[in-house]
Amino acid sequence: MELWNITDLQAEPNSALSNCTVDTSYRFTFYQVSYSVIFLLGLATNGMALRRLCSTLRTMNSTAIYLASLSTADLFFVISLPMRIYYYHQKSRAVSHKTGDLSSWNPGAGYCQVTFILKYISLYGGIFFLVCIAVDRYWAVVHPLASPHRRMRIAQVVSGGIWCLVLGLSVCLPLLYLAASHQHQPCLFDPSSYRHRTIILVALGLVMGSFLLPTLTLCYSYCRVMTVLRNSRRRSHRRNHRYTLRVIYLVLGVHLLCFLPYHVNLLGYTLTQVKLVPHCGLAKVTMAAHPVVLSLASFNCCLNPLVYYFSSSLLHREAPRGRVRGSK
């Protein structure tokens, strides 16, 4: 149930590095425990954040629109976690009762498609909307005279475009995986096949691009905001910008902490599996680390509500004046 189920792949006899294996049997129990914790925390925190955002519709601003989209994307992943927990529970039973035969239980193609789609909606929806929040903060600092109503309209259009992009990507990637999977084992890939290898590399390119471009945008926004803050001489401006700086610090920290280890590890493992980097040591390290970095990336849906918490003062401070007056 990972990006291309690399931890299951090592049990396949045709694997590119079938003689270079490492014991990752701990992953079944680890995933069940970590996903159970993420499910409970993610459901509670995102549910409360979305409820609070919906209760303040009269004072919604551009930041609130991105936060609402972020919480919605996270909930897509949270509702898929029971399916993932069940998947690893069945795999764990297969290992204990079938002497390690992981192929004794395999879900159908529809099961894999649904869980993949829900995962990517959350993963890349989370990345894109985190970046939108940082860019929105950048815009508020670098262009402070911009109309809040105009920023609201821009946020609505951008959020709609990102949802279309995320849904398209979330459907496209599972279709690529399905084309490269085994006929009777739709959740597993064979990287030794040239056709499958090409599909895997295309999917990897899409995934890495969907991570690197937002990361560069995030870093650029952060640097520009820092430049403006250094050049600001008025203390009142510095106090107002302090909230923005706090939000960008948090967004950058959550983004790099959750997504950087996962994508770096994924890149190393994939390149070893398709024999572009035939390094046994790298294959072992990335294979063993994958359950940890995947759970860390998944834990992002529990950390995102912190962005809402630290942005709550901005929701009222920058609310469009016309809406506030109309609500009185």
Indicate the range of 102-116, 119-133, 180-194, 223-237 predicted with least confidence.
180-194
Whether 99 has a pLDDT exceeding 60, the answer reads no
Whether 16 has a pLDDT exceeding 50, the answer reads no
Residue 191: what pLDDT? 52
Per-residue pLDDT band at 327 (split at 50, 70, 90)? very low
Per-range mean pLDDT, top range of 12-21, 99-108, 243-252, 310-319? 243-252
Whether 17 has a pLDDT exceeding 70, the answer reads no
Per-residue pLDDT band at 39 (split at 50, 70, 90)? very high
Whether 112 has a pLDDT exceeding 70, the answer reads yes
Per-range mean pLDDT, top range of 32-36, 91-95, 191-195, 305-309? 32-36
Mean per-residue pLDDT of the chain: 76
Per-residue pLDDT band at 299 (split at 50, 70, 90)? very high
Per-residue pLDDT band at 142 (split at 50, 70, 90)? confident
- HSE value, Cβ hemisphere, 13 Å, CA-based, for 38: 27
Name the fold adopted by 6-10+24-320: Rhopdopsin 7-helix transmembrane proteins (1.20.1070)
